């Protein structure tokens, strides 16, 4: 068999060689280099530039990439982007985005993300607002490292900028894509671009729908798990008075409206092993607690040093063999994930007689998330939880940008942001759990802790950046952003039945909070860039990103309000 493989491989060599020679013979020596990379234009510095001229670590994906690769969501970019990690938890709200290992947990609504997410120039206040499919994409840019100067707060680790295609007044276009796979998952993506005659105005409509069968099933309840059921619409309308290019009139107006909805039984997580120790001495199985107890021996009173009560003993049945690759899960709690994301934005662009461009973006974004999860990930009735979020944000950004290509290229702007978020979270301990722990006398019916919080965030910023093109090869950049932010939180932590024990985050005395905090920050950027040749560029940079402080959603020890400080990240 080895010899046959070797002979087959050798027989292929002449064919490969002839093909290479044939391909070489077809190349036009006066035409473009077939091995040359396509130039990619990005707006990482809030102005159009070739990606080879941008002095920062950027990965950019064009719309053609998404068509060729089949990637339809942000999580799919992980395998194509160094140092990007997107973790999807028990629901969309738990999504965690990390760059270079820096990020925030998505399960606590009191904590802001460390990676800023921007869609068509508008900051998205929650990572879970990224549920929409990536369709009709012009470009996705992933910026690694702090981006505080031009992108603002909550970009300590980096930023992800999604740019969708704008309406085109040039021609009527339409596109539809249908996909069906072996997991019984059907997807439809559609787009239509409609010019309004010869007025220079146009509208672009896009939509998607995804419906997929449950990938897994709980063998305990029969509930199907991890299905796909979401849809969305987006409309962008362009009104161009002709002033953007001619320097007079009112400018160009781009209005965007979008709405997306998801309703799934998601997300069940695979279990690698049910065996293990428990910090509460209430493990799922007797292994390895029995072995460890035997090794530790007895205390001075003659009792085992390690005492525990396992669920397989108290409930009278054992878990199945763990298989993370199986289609069968073993949970008892009904899980669900219901999300609504939508909003409207108005972008105004006006080119002045000096060729400077004024940009004014006003946006409203709305986010709802209602989800429940099995906190112990087993069919034992132990821990359950839910989170209900209603979030609204309003933002405005005004900036002026020079045309570029001058000795001094500059931009400056003002930014304002306001958000209000209401969240209600529950955490339940069953009777079986409190019995196994040994506190059933205090909680004969188990415990239910409910956290009810209202967060308000008000933020203002002023920023500017200038690039001094000293020579054709060498340039220096200096940027600065000042941010002021205030956070207010009113909330409560209520345990039912009332608890005299203070054991955060699961139970404790009733707590009511009314807190506020202020942060301010200066985020600078200093860059030196040098082109050895037109194709080879090197740079040295110092940049800083800022993430505001806040208040923990979870219960804290009585007398503690869960306040935590702001974070800054400096990149060299």
DSSP string across 387-436? EEEEEEEEEEEEEEE--SSSSEEEEEEEEEEEEEEEEEEEEEE-HHHHHH
Neighbour-count burial of 329, counting CB atoms closer than 10 A to its CB (0-12 exposed, 13-18 middle, 19+ buried): buried
For the stretch 244-274, pLDDT in tens is 555 567 899 999 999 999 999 998 888 899 9
Q: Indicate the pLDDT class of residue 37, thresholds 50, 70 and 90.
A: low
- What's the CA gap between 488 and 323, in Å, rounded? 45
pLDDT for the residue numbered 505:
85
pLDDT for the residue numbered 31:
54
Q: Cα torsion at 368, 371, 375, 381 (round to 10°)?
A: 150
pTM of the model: 0.88
pLDDT for the residue numbered 132:
79
pLDDT for the residue numbered 24:
33
Question: 123-137, 143-157, 257-271, 449-463: which range is least confident on average?
Answer: 123-137
pLDDT for the residue numbered 13:
30
- What's the CA gap between 423 and 369, in Å, rounded? 9
pLDDT at 291 over 60: yes
pLDDT at 373 over 60: yes
Q: Indicate the pLDDT class of residue 95, thresholds 50, 70 and 90.
A: confident
pLDDT at 558 over 50: yes
Mean pLDDT of 45-55: 88
Report the largest interatomic distance among the alpha carbons of the chain, rounded to a whole angstrom: 93
CB neighbour list of residue 302: distance below 8 Å, 6 or more residues apart: none
**Residue showing tokens 């491989």:** 9
- What's the CA gap between 62 and 66, in Å, rounded? 7
How many residues does the structure list for the chain? 572
Q: Indicate the pLDDT class of residue 70, thresholds 50, 70 and 90.
A: confident
Give Cα separations from 555 to 46, 63, 386, 428 (angstroms). Answer: 41, 45, 15, 13
For the stretch 489-548, pLDDT in tens is 999 999 999 988 888 888 999 999 999 999 999 999 999 999 999 889 999 999 999 888
pLDDT for the residue numbered 30:
56
Mean pLDDT of 328-335: 92
Give me 310's structure tokens.
């396992």
- What's the CA gap between 282 and 280, in Å, rounded? 5
For the stretch 186-242, pLDDT in tens is 999 999 999 998 888 999 999 999 999 999 999 999 999 999 999 999 999 999 887
């Amino acid at each position: 068999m080895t010899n046959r493989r070797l002979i087959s491989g050798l027989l292929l060599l002449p064919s490969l060689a002839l093909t290479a020679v044939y391909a070489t013979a077809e190349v036009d020596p006066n035409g473009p280099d077939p091995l040359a990379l396509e130039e990619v234009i990005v707006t990482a510095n809030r102005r159009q530039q070739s990606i080879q001229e941008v002095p920062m670590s950027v990965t950019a994906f064009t719309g053609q990439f998404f068509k060729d690769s089949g990637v339809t969501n942000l999580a799919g970019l992980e395998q194509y982007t160094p140092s990007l990690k997107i973790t999807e938890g028990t629901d969309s709200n738990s999504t965690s985005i990390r760059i270079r290992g820096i990020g925030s947990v998505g399960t606590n609504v009191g904590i802001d993300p460390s990676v800023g997410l921007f869609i068509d120039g508008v900051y998205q206040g929650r990572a879970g607002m990224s549920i929409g499919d990536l369709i009709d994409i012009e470009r996705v840019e992933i910026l690694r490292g702090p981006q505080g100067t031009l992108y603002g707060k909550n970009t300590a680790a980096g930023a992800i900028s999604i740019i969708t295609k704008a309406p085109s007044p040039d021609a009527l276009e339409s596109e539809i894509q249908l996909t069906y796979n072996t997991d019984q998952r059907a997807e439809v993506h559609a787009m239509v671009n409609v010019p309004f005659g010869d007025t220079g105005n146009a509208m672009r409509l896009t939509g998607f729908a995804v419906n997929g069968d449950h990938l897994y099933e709980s063998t305990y309840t029969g509930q199907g798990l991890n299905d796909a059921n979401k849809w969305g619409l987006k409309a962008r309308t362009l009104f161009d008075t002709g002033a953007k290019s001619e320097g007079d009139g009112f400018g160009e107006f781009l209005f965007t409206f979008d709405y997306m909805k998801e309703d799934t039984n998601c997300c069940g997580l695979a279990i690698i092993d049910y065996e293990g120790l428990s910090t509460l001495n209430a493990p799922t199985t007797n292994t390895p607690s029995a072995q460890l107890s035997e090794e530790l021996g007895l205390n001075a009173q003659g009792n085992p040093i390690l005492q525990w009560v396992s669920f397989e003993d108290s409930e009278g049945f054992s878990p199945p063999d763990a298989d993370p690759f199986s289609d069968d899960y073993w949970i008892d709690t009904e899980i669900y994930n219901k999300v609504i994301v939508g909003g409207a934005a108005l972008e105004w662009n006006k080119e002045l007689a000096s060729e400077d461009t004024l940009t004014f973006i006003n946006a409203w974004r709305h986010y709802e998330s209602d989800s429940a999860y099995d906190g112990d990930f087993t069919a034992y009735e132990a821990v359950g939880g839910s989170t209900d979020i209603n979030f609204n944000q309003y933002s405005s950004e005004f900036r002026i940008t020079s045309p570029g290509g001058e000795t001094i290229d500059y931009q400056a702007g003002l930014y304002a942001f306001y958000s209000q978020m209401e969240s209600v979270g529950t955490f339940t301990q069953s009777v079986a759990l409190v019995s196994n722990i040994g506190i059933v006398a205090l909680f004969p019916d188990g415990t239910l802790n409910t956290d009810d919080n209202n967060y308000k965030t008000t933020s203002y910023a002023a920023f500017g950046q200038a690039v001094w093109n000293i020579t054709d090869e060498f340039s220096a950049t200096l940027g600065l952003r000042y941010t002021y932010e205030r956070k207010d939180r009113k909330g409560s932590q209520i345990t039912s039945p009332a608890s005299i024990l203070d054991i955060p985050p699961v139970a404790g005395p009733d707590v009511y909070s009314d807190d506020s905090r202020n942060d301010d920050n200066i985020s600078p950027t200093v860059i030196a860039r040098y082109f050895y040749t037109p194709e080879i560029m090197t740079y040295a940079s110092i940049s800083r990103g800022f993430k505001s402080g806040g208040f923990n959603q979870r219960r804290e020890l009585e007398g503690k309000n869960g306040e935590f400080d702001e974070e800054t990240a400096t990149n060299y």
